[in-house]
Structure 1
Amino acid sequence: MYKRIALLILILFPMLTRGQNQTYFQYRTDEATLVFFDKNQSRYIPHMMRNFQLGKALHQQIWTTDSVYQSEAPLLLLTDWEDDGNGGATPLPRSLIQIGMAPLNMSYYVAPSGERYRQLFKHEYTHTVMTDKYNLRDKHWRSLFGTKVCTDNTQPISALWSYLCVPRWYAPRWYHEGIACFMETWLGGGVGRALGGYDEMYFRSIIADGEKLFSVVGLETEGSTMDFQVGANAYLYGTRFVNYLTKNYGYDKLIAFYNRTADSRTFFGSQFKKIYGQPLRKVWDDWKQDEQHHQQANLAAIRQYPVTPTTPVTSKPLGSVSPLVYDSVSGKAYAAMNAPGKLAHITEIDLATGKQRKLHNLNGPTLYDPAYVALDTRHQRIIYTTNNGKWRGLEVYDLQQNRVVKRKNYQRIGNIVYDNTHDCLYGLLSNGGTQTVVRLDSNLENIEPIYAFPFGVSVFDVDVSHDGTWLSMTRQGDNGEHTLLLFNLQEFEQAIYKPVELVTWRDANLGQFRFSLDDQYLVGSSYYTGVSNLWQINIATRQMEMLTNANIGMFAPLEIQPGQLLALQFERDGMRPVTLKRQVVTDANAIKLYGQAAYEQNRDALEQVGLLRDSLPRIEFGDVYNHITPYHVLKEMRFAGAYPTISGFTDADSWNHVTPVLGYRLAVNDPVGLSSIRLSLGISPWSHNPWKNRLHADLEWQYYFWKLKAAWNHTDFYDLFGPRRTSRKGYTVGLSYDYTNSMISPYTREWGFSVDAYGDMDALPMYQEIAVNDVKSLQTASIYGKVSKLRKSLGGVMDEQGYQLGISGYGYLAGGTFYPSIEATGDFGTLVPFDRNTSFWLRTAAGHNFGDAQSVFGNTYLGGFRNNRVDYRDAFQYRTALAMPGADIDAIQAHSYAKATTELNLRPIRLNNFGALFCYPTWIQCSLFGTGLSAWNPGTKHQMYYSAGLQLSTELVFVNYLKTTLSVGLGHLFAPEGFAGGRHGNELMISLKLL
């Protein structure tokens, strides 16, 4: 037996060590290690490191110098996995900052920005300082464990150790993003969300409509789903509240609140009360009142002059909406939209009636501008981008055939516009942090690069003149200034690539400018007055004129008839299409930004924030290039800490009795996380088992998609709570490969296989209640494949529509006999029309065993909800193939089976301002289900089982990041005569899903 295991590992070990073909590179200094994936990007590394050093140096000047704290050299992960730039940071287990190279998405100028890498590093390094900075107490715990402990759902006690190591990580998102947006603004000389016109507009819309602001707890519950901005509300509210604290209590107190010092409190809420002398809830309510007064004053200032009248096109806002395109022949407009409770789609709007028609679902929408949309009037086609959160693709919808006629993946082209004069498509191609103007023929088959912008330059909002002469776009400068550019398309044909800089605004944005019908003007929007108003620029004279005095905000104007504009008007629940006259406005007031008030009260401090006291050393490209080395995953593996654990193991005095196991887990991994080893050792001193079964060891090595596992008397924490058990006596050795491809949203493809060997065991690996008496050692092999397209609308708590198809094979080799089996599953769901976020699903499964039905290895065993009372798996286990609520676990034997479950998931109830700062429920949801099972066993009558029930679930959040789900379920079984468990059975399930 042991020779077989050794031979198996020797055969497969070369495949394991080979891993992936992707080559990684690194540049290492005392301050940071930068890892990237393409050596051609090495020429950008000095720029990246310079901006990182600048962000770090500025933060070191701000936060109190503490001899206890020594900043950790973070890992800087440079990626090009999306076509919209982004950043992220985590302190666990080591400090890591991820920077997406692509230009930032500038839709509606939600996030004001200067040079993008400078801004991203200032923002993300704020998170690093806030979460990594420690005092003596935190340092003690980190030293004890040898690391900052990550939470691991297989060992939930790790959450306690993690909180002790990095307590400030476990704070709400508004807490983190509020200070990051504030610091990004003032470290950038006043360019950022703390002085953002979009934020101002959002809160003005709430006050103007007489709606309520979210409470500090309600923001994390109802506030993350109620309107179209979902989780982004954390940025809005967090930045606002930090501005309020600065304005009313001063900059120094704000720094004291966020700083982790020797005398600071561990929990952020306690620290707030220590610094400000009042509970956070009370000060948050004070801010809400102050916000209301501030916005009422702004509204009064706007209304001193006539507000521009508009005519709504639709009866209500549409949520997130892309700039509209318009067909003058049909009188219809087209856009991508995404609203709560509805799946993102391409919509057609009849401007005469306001009637909307859904054309096609939109895969992979982004938050504020779901997709880029272009209209080909000559061929009556809508061209739009898909997979917008990753590498963009293109789809073509034929308006005459009413269907999608072409799909092209991984084009990486956005900001598209169709030139109906020359029958071609223009757009911006993103690759490696650079942008290139490209042209595609009408078939979208040939991509022709036209003009490449230098690295770091961001351009957006492309349009083409009606006569096909000019191409316009906006360029963002290093300090946030915006310049409107014009390219002469005729000069392109003569290889002349010099853009005309039409106009530059240094203190305001220039967004979504498009040509007037006569091509004499560009018409767009700007927050020049603090309000997003519409403006026009005379191309010949370069004179700018204001077209609206908007109450809240106007965007994306398009002239549809001479003197008439179609635009998007902002409201709390999203953008609403409106029409208005194109008429010059001569009188309008500027409003006061909330961040401006914070600045005026702390002028000296905030002007010093972004000033560097000591110059940084110059970084030479040659020095960088000569020190770039390959990133070898195995060579980079380092000790990643160790901590005590507790788990459970089956005891000898009773099959249903589980004994505690005291243990210790240690980890080794590489900084990027491509390879990790976890070793757990334990002992069960109170067990009645023989001593050979009181010692426990589990080893897991994950390397890319490969996983090598070995165990002696495998333990499981959740076995302590039952009724489902996965701990097993004896040994197991296994190797598996699991591959997932989700590059095209929302499609996912998964496949994998595994081979395992077991010995000295007492139960089947998959079925805890099926004892193994005659065979003590066996081998198993499995293979599976799965495809899915699962979607949920804004505000949903689970997948609401789509399908998931899977097929798997499993086999035992026991006692010299092979017992193969096969199983297929198919789930199909759809949103129901009568209520938001309510879905109906049909879940099916069928399986057949080819082995001897008289052997325990030749059957499938079903039954039970299959949740543990404390669990880490998905809370809805009744959806799995082996579940049958009402029956005991593994009580139903089937040599072949077919099963179908119908399920109605009701709209979740969102809770607002219920709970404490450290613990609160977010939603309550009810699912109703009914299941039918056909079971076939040779020599017996075909049997039918039925089950009906419900499950009520609520999500609970502890210390803001530890999400758990409490579920209560009731299932009733209708069984055939002669069933061992009786014809009727009831099962009450109570389960708490941790982490």
Structure 2
Amino acid sequence: MKIFQLLLLTVVVFNFISFPQVDTKIAVIIGNNYKLIDAENHLGIIYLSLNDLLENLDIPFELSEHKNSISVSFSDQSFVLTIQNPFVNILDSKSKTKKIYQLLNSPYLKKNNVYISSLSAIELINFIWNKQLIQLAPNRIKVEEKEFEQQIDTIPQLKISKLEVEFENDAVKLKLLFSDEIKNYYSFYRSRNLHLILWNVIVPKDSVIDFIGKDLLDKIEIKSIGQFTELTIHLKEEETISESFKSENRKELIIRISERDFGDWYTKESEHFKIIYRDSHSHLVNHLLASAENSLKHLMEIFNYKPEQKIIINTYDVSDYGFGGTTTIPENYIRIEIEPLEAGYEVIPYSERFQWLLSHELVHIVVNDMAGNLESSLRSIFGKVLPERNQPLSVLYSLLTNHNRYTPRWYQEAIAVFIETWFSGGYGRLLGSFDEMYFRSLVNEKLPFPSDVELENYTSHISIFLENILYLYGTRFVGHLADKYGVEKLINWFSLEEDEFYPSLEAKFEKVYNTDFDDEWNNFIKDETEFQKQNISTLQTAPLTQTKRLSEESFGWITKPYFDSKDRSLIFGFHKPGNLAQITKFDLKTNSYEQIVSLPSPSIIQIASLAYDETYNQMFYTRNNNQLFRDLLMYDFNSKNEKLIFEDIRVGSLTISPEKHELWGVQHQSGKAVLVRSKYPYTEAQSLSAFMVGDELQDLSINRKGDLLAVTLHFSNGQQSIGIADIKEIDKGNPIVFKTVSSNGTPENPSWSLDGNYLYWNAYVNGVANIYRYDVATEEITPLTNTIQGLFRPIEISNDSLLAFEFTTKGFIPVVFKIQKTERLPAIQYFGQRILDKSPELLKWNLEPTRIIKDTINVSEEKSYNSVSSVSLKTFIPTISGFQSRIVLGLYLQFNDPLLFNDLIIDAGISPFKETTNDIKYHLRLKYSYHQKFIVAAEYNATDFYDLFNKRKRGMLGGRFALGYNYFLIYDNPLKIKHSTELSLYKDIKYINDNQTEVSIPDYLILKSEIDIKDLRRTIGSTDWESGDWIRLSILGYTSDPKKPKYSGQLMAEWDKFFLLFFDHNVLQFKIATGYLFEKEEIPETKFYFGGFGNRAIENEPVKQYTKMFRFPGVPIYSIVADKFVKVMISNSLPALRIPGASFLGIDLKNINFSIFSQGLYSDSPLVEKAIDAGAQLNFVFQHWENLETTLSAGIAKAWWNGGNDHEWFISFKLLKD
């Protein structure tokens, strides 16, 4: 025994001598409080101070007199831990028995503190204590109540004691009062009617209640069927949504039914906020206001900021994943999509999502809204000006009135993520495992870091992360600054003092940090590289798992995979640069793959939701994943046909029972996650359980027997767990109970073994995503891998092999490896933890939970949103414009309400200089839109800023009055069908076609109606549309003076088809267009005019004007006049050339794109019946002031026709974004 102890001591001493330890801290989370305890990282093993841990947990302990042991006491048990001895004696005071517990590593003494590995401490304390410690990450431990296995008791039958129906403006509320708490119920729609199943509820007799004369509700049928009672709620509307929740006494069930987000808007106000919401969001309103006030209060202290007006919060529920968006122009406005966030890979670590979202968005408000004295003065005159393409001088006013907005996106997001992390008590990307994985992989792959310019204009366009990569680098850079220089200087960099005069980002940086910005960015790269090399070295101290890559090709982002054992293939979806998102079948025998279906509108992280029924050879998947409501489809591999099962069902996280063929999923509705299932043959979806707002459900997986459901649970306190529920108990009508399998390391992606005896998942327990296995029989959890970059979405493909997807900076790659326990999992260091170690005051930034402070916030009574009274003047600026050869001095005003129900633009001016004639001309352009559908416009001698610079003038002599209406017949991304109709009266008109064509009649009326059909898609890294169809159909009617009327009409149609051809981003566009004119007399203003590129020297139109119907480069503009025509065009746009870091004097070159084209025209023109041309166009796209874009274009073309030929070239500069 002495020899063993000597050897053990020798090994420990050798380790300490051979490898230096890294001093660090571990955050212990107890409720809403954070405590930092001392820790050391020895070769990837985190040792924590047991004294500090026990003291913060209020567990009694005593260090022995000779400092060679520590005694720890619990209520019924105690243990003694001896220095340099891995064996612990546990004494039970009741039974007087003793147990021996072996630690993973031996403890040691340092400065009167006993240090023990964090895993050993957690296991030992959890073994005895009545609470449990959960290791969220190597640097974070959370204290939770211990979960005991829940017994499912027999539920007594309940009676309905009262049924009340309350009618609201656009909703109806049913209140069911029971004799006791209702434990289990679910609902589903069949046709338009809502069915509510109440388990273990009886009624004395069946009944029918009619509601005559009510808008939404027709009748309610109540019927007792065996163990349950069914309520059939007959509804009059085709599309409704419903939500159910219990009252505080738990005996009342409330069902609220309303039209699907078509209802009225309402408002409430707090001290600093005004929230605008629909009635179906009302249950969230007070919580949102309290969360916003909670965050803003602390931001005002940090930045010495006070808002001048109330900040608008506008809630929406038109997407299946939640998000936030912010602008400070023309007013401070936050949009919140209330649904659960898109989860996965811990890309976004968060706790209570609304507090987290609002904290992030409010940082943008505060940082961008701060102003110096001059800027504040200009705001009081002009407002915060939004750039307007038709008035380019608005850009100058915008720069002067909201200067901070024109900074790089990475800079904007960096401070928002920094503060979001600490406001949420460490739940944020600064302490996130995904960010660590990305930078560790970047260094491990020996890839270069981008410069800040390259990041914005190159990396963010070609990376699978798109603009999300700006969050990664921005966060990491400010983390570097906080670590090196402290938090106070970081806040100073982002703050703006009243006496500061429009400081640039770099100038302010040099003032605060006394160093050059570019030099510090390079220092950041060096420090980050060294930090990650240390982590990689730590991970390599233990044997790495031997994996075999099945492809050297990265698949970008991926869906949940499914293994088809019949032909040994893998079914999954992916989205990567240069490829349209798709679901593919990957052959494990040949490592080749083929597309099954294309996936329009993929989401950024999960792409889509997928399930596969191997028995029936059917695949289920979702579309509309990144916007609007998800549809659920089924693809039959036998017939090669797909079928829409449920439209707008909003369900994802799909899985299917191999035994019963039931389809399960998670529905997002009214901000909640709802567990649903649909039984074969999938005609209706049953809502089984609605989770509380803030608690979320994802990653469903059913074992092959069909009796166990595994899920990932995310709670509002930030904890994430793998849980298992017994489906048999659910079928009996018992409440759904999830048994927690693991909460360590943000576990996710549960997947069952082929025999159903094991459950696999990935988790960041040691800071790296590794694969774990749970034995259902023994409840033992075994780590299976030790990797450097990270493995995700495990799936068993044989008894001894697993397949998973390895993370790379370019996306995920499938790998296989043997199923065996890994020897050791070294823990990495988190960069964010270094900041916390040096600046522990950041823990004080942790916000109190909203539920605690909600009642202290004063909230006004609910009011209906009045769009008219909410209208205010947003912009008031003097302008200079052109009108033919005149200079026009004028004013530009914009009035609107926050929801743009009423939007009025007035552009008025006078041309006083008499350059061409002696008369003074007055000018007016007025446009009013209602709900962005109804439009009223009036123009008189309407100006055009670009007339100041161009020979071809668009300012039109005369007047125009128009009424318009446009709306979407279908808005189902990517398919959008829009109908527009406009009736225009023209008065005293002299010329049309840029004042090139004289009209025959000065007064006339035109009615035009158009159908615009777009079904267009693009890939990651594109600069324009790359695939799909664009169809326009229009009809036009013309009439003149009623006394001597003339009539004519036009029919026009055009179709554009886009293809990806030969290689990534090489786009072939095919166009065919035709038009026919009906007229009895010659009316020049209704004929078709062709010719020219169309680009003026200084322009505001799209740069590729040659693709328009009436453009024909090579011949003079408007020179071919026809009554009927057919036109064909073929154009090839080469992949855009992006030059990393191309920048000069603050002007960045975003890309260079080049197109070649040829067109053919057949018409009844007396001069040119048949014509053909060929040409090319080159575009240089620049970015100024970070958010503004301009394009320099040049083109050349030659045309041939019967009897002649001609050529044309142009150079044009386009202001603002194309």
C-alpha deviation, 1:873, in angstroms: 2.3
Q: Which moved more, 1:236-245 or 1:740-749?
A: 740-749
Distance in structure 2 (CA, Å) of the matches to 1:518 and 1:967: 63
Q: Does 1:644 align with 2:878?
A: yes
* Pair 1:412–1:28, CA change in 2 (3 A): same
* Pair 1:40–1:473, CA change in 2 (3 A): same
Q: The residue matched to 1:388 in structure 2 has which SS?
A: coil
Distance in structure 1 (CA, Å) of the matches to 2:588 and 2:1134: 35
Distance in structure 1 (CA, Å) of the matches to 2:338 and 2:1167: 64
Distance in structure 1 (CA, Å) of the matches to 2:1168 and 2:792: 66
Aligned to 1:492: 730
- One-letter amino acid matched to 2:288: M
Q: The residue matched to 2:329 in structure 1 has which SS?
A: coil
- One-letter amino acid matched to 1:796: S
C-alpha deviation, 1:517, in angstroms: 2.4
Alignment of 1:496-645 (within 5 A): 496-503=734-741, 505=743, 508-604=745-841, 606-610=842-846, 618-619=854-855, 627-645=861-879
Native 8 Å contact 2:281 2:315 kept in 1: no
Aligned to 1:7: none
Alignment of 1:53-452 (within 5 A): 53-63=293-303, 65=304, 69-145=306-382, 147-264=383-500, 265-390=502-627, 391-406=629-644, 408-452=646-690
- One-letter amino acid matched to 1:60: M
2:290 pairs, out of 46, 50, 55, with: 50
Native 8 Å contact 1:481 1:508 kept in 2: no
Distance in structure 1 (CA, Å) of the matches to 2:791 and 2:940: 66
2:1049 pairs, out of 820, 824, 842, with: 820
1:748 pairs, out of 957, 976, 988, with: 976
Q: Deviations over 1:19-68 (max 9, x none)?
A: x974211112331111112x1321221111111111111212211x26xx
Native 8 Å contact 1:381 1:396 kept in 2: yes
Aligned to 1:6: none
* Pair 1:208–1:555, CA change in 2 (3 A): same
Alignment of 1:785-800 (within 5 A): 785-800=1011-1026
Q: Does 1:702 align with 2:929?
A: yes
C-alpha deviation, 1:263, in angstroms: 4.4
Distance in structure 1 (CA, Å) of the matches to 2:645 and 2:978: 22
Q: Does 1:776 align with 2:1014?
A: no
Q: Does 1:873 align with 2:873?
A: no
Distance in structure 1 (CA, Å) of the matches to 2:851 and 2:1160: 73
Distance in structure 1 (CA, Å) of the matches to 2:850 and 2:1202: 83
Aligned to 2:265: 24
1:831 pairs, out of 1035, 1060, 1081, with: 1060
Q: The residue matched to 2:935 in structure 1 has which SS?
A: strand
Q: Which moved more, 1:859-868 or 1:422-431?
A: 859-868
Q: Deviations over 1:369-427 (max 9, x none)?
A: 21111101121111111110121112222212234233543110000011111111100
2:904 pairs, out of 659, 674, 677, with: 677
CA RMSD of aligned residues (A): 2.1
Q: Deviations over 1:801-829 (max 9, x none)?
A: 11111111123212411121111000011
Q: Does 1:949 align with 2:1175?
A: yes
* Pair 1:543–1:917, CA change in 2 (3 A): farther
Taking structure 2 as the reference length, what is the TM-score of the superposition?
0.76
* Pair 1:174–1:143, CA change in 2 (3 A): same
Q: The residue matched to 2:879 in structure 1 has which SS?
A: strand
* Pair 1:776–1:22, CA change in 2 (3 A): farther
Distance in structure 1 (CA, Å) of the matches to 2:435 and 2:685: 38
Native 8 Å contact 2:1095 2:1210 kept in 1: no
Distance in structure 2 (CA, Å) of the matches to 1:54 and 1:896: 66
Aligned to 2:1208: 986
Distance in structure 2 (CA, Å) of the matches to 1:92 and 1:173: 16
Distance in structure 1 (CA, Å) of the matches to 2:286 and 2:600: 37
* Pair 1:871–1:619, CA change in 2 (3 A): farther
Native 8 Å contact 2:1098 2:1214 kept in 1: yes
Aligned to 2:131: none
Q: Deviations over 1:351-374 (max 9, x none)?
A: 111101111111110112211111
Taking structure 1 as the reference length, what is the TM-score of the superposition?
0.93
Native 8 Å contact 1:114 1:191 kept in 2: yes
* Pair 1:948–1:723, CA change in 2 (3 A): farther
- One-letter amino acid matched to 1:34: I
* Pair 1:239–1:922, CA change in 2 (3 A): same
Native 8 Å contact 1:393 1:411 kept in 2: yes
Distance in structure 2 (CA, Å) of the matches to 1:692 and 1:321: 68
Distance in structure 2 (CA, Å) of the matches to 1:678 and 1:182: 39
Native 8 Å contact 1:911 1:921 kept in 2: yes
Distance in structure 2 (CA, Å) of the matches to 1:29 and 1:51: 11
Q: The residue matched to 1:225 in structure 2 has which SS?
A: helix
Distance in structure 2 (CA, Å) of the matches to 1:194 and 1:249: 17
C-alpha deviation, 1:472, in angstroms: 1.6
C-alpha deviation, 1:449, in angstroms: 1.2
Native 8 Å contact 1:58 1:610 kept in 2: no
Gapped regions of structure 1 (runs ≥ 5): 1-19, 651-657
Q: Which moved more, 1:327-336 or 1:403-412?
A: 403-412
C-alpha deviation, 1:618, in angstroms: 4.2
* Pair 1:723–1:460, CA change in 2 (3 A): farther
C-alpha deviation, 1:70, in angstroms: 3.8
Distance in structure 1 (CA, Å) of the matches to 2:274 and 2:970: 28
Identity among equivalent pairs (%): 27
Aligned to 1:11: none
- One-letter amino acid matched to 2:893: L
Aligned to 1:758: 986
Aligned to 1:3: none
Native 8 Å contact 1:819 1:857 kept in 2: no
* Pair 1:261–1:742, CA change in 2 (3 A): farther
Distance in structure 2 (CA, Å) of the matches to 1:557 and 1:870: 56
C-alpha deviation, 1:561, in angstroms: 1.3
Distance in structure 2 (CA, Å) of the matches to 1:263 and 1:619: 39
Native 8 Å contact 1:853 1:859 kept in 2: no
1:966 pairs, out of 1192, 1207, 1210, with: 1192
Native 8 Å contact 1:167 1:267 kept in 2: no
Q: Deviations over 1:572-610 (max 9, x none)?
A: 210001111121123121111121222222223x12222
Native 8 Å contact 2:1120 2:1168 kept in 1: no
Q: Does 1:905 align with 2:1122?
A: no
**Which is richer in strand?**
2
Q: Does 1:736 align with 2:964?
A: yes
C-alpha deviation, 1:570, in angstroms: 0.5
Q: Deviations over 1:636-669 (max 9, x none)?
A: 211223001121112xxxxxxx222111111111
Native 8 Å contact 2:631 2:644 kept in 1: no
Q: The residue matched to 2:998 in structure 1 has which SS?
A: coil
Q: The residue matched to 2:958 in structure 1 has which SS?
A: strand
Q: Deviations over 1:451-483 (max 9, x none)?
A: 111222111111111111111212112221112
Distance in structure 2 (CA, Å) of the matches to 1:880 and 1:220: 31
Which has the bigger relative contact order, CA under 8 A and spacing at least 6? 1
Native 8 Å contact 1:315 1:354 kept in 2: no
The structure with the largest alpha-carbon Rg is: 2
Q: Which moved more, 1:48-57 or 1:480-489?
A: 480-489
